[in-house]
Structure 1
Amino acid sequence: MPKNKGKGGKNRKRGKNEADDEKRELVFKEDGQDYAQVLRMLGNGRCEAMCIDGNKRLCHIRGKMHKKVWISTGDIVLVGLRDYQDEKADIILKYMSDEARLLKAYGELPDNIRLNEGIAGEFNEEDDDGAGGDFIKFEEENIDKI
């Protein structure tokens, strides 16, 4: 039989999760960095994000975060801007939902950014005329008959 050279298999690597869920210090942007909201995931460690300065950039997830920090649409991230390519950026940090709320409370994020949304900017309150065409309201007796 072959000798085991590693320290464990797939399940050990899966359980090896750094405890980032605990309270961590809030990181603010510095020179060459900006806040962004992820618009859509493109695959291959890339996504499209709308930066606070109004530019839509193609963002690359850095290797330290790849397959460890899961990024989805609507997340607030900190991106590092590139000097030589303005249309591309690198994702440095993903903010948790409570951290994003704190950033908005501190005035770092503008008021038009909608937090905790699936896709950034898809639903506007001005467009909603109260018709409720997407929702069906059931009466109590109708629910029992189904």
Structure 2
Amino acid sequence: MPDDNQVFGVVTEHNGGNHVRVRCMDGRERMGRIPGRMKYRVWINEGDVVILEPWDWQDEKGTIEWRYEDQDADQLRREGHIE
């Protein structure tokens, strides 16, 4: 589950490299950056549910912290955490 400064999001577009467009559950659309520790280990595709931590200094961008597997994402949808 996300911390206080993190939000659920759904990846809407892969912009190449390590950048994705994420529709966050707080109603904002942000540019997400995939950190190096995840870049080659976790493949992030359109439609994936992620946890995004918005940047303090630039709220329209953030860092991807976690990607949920399909089963976990379905459970979050059933529980009403994401749309």
Which of the five TM-score ranges fits, normalised by the shorter chain? over 0.9
Show the counterpart of 1:75: 48
Show the counterpart of 2:81: 108
Shift of 1:93: 0.5
Show the counterpart of 2:6: 33
TM-score in terms of structure 1 length: 0.55
- In 1, the alpha carbon distance for the partners of 2:55 and 2:4 equals 11
> Which is higher, the Rg of structure 1 or of structure 2?
1
- In 2, the alpha carbon distance for the partners of 1:74 and 1:105 equals 16
Percent identity over the alignment is 33
Show the counterpart of 2:20: 47
Q: What are the equivalent positions in structure 2 for 1:109-124 lying under 5 Å apart?
A: 109=82, 113=83
TM-score in terms of structure 2 length: 0.94
Aligned-partner residue type, residue 56 of structure 1: E
Show the counterpart of 1:136: none
Shift of 1:107: 2.2
Show the counterpart of 2:33: 60
SS of the counterpart of 1:43? coil
Is 1:32–1:82's contact at 8 Å kept on the other side of the alignment?
no
Q: Which 4+ stretches in 1 moved above 3 angstroms? A: none
Q: How many residues align?
A: 83
More contact order relative to length (CA 8 Å, sep ≥ 6): 2
Whichever structure has more strand as a proportion of its residues is: 2
User: Which consecutive unaligned segments of at least 5 residues does structure 1 have?
Assistant: 1-27, 114-146
User: Which consecutive unaligned segments of at least 5 residues does structure 2 have?
Assistant: none
- In 2, the alpha carbon distance for the partners of 1:90 and 1:68 equals 16
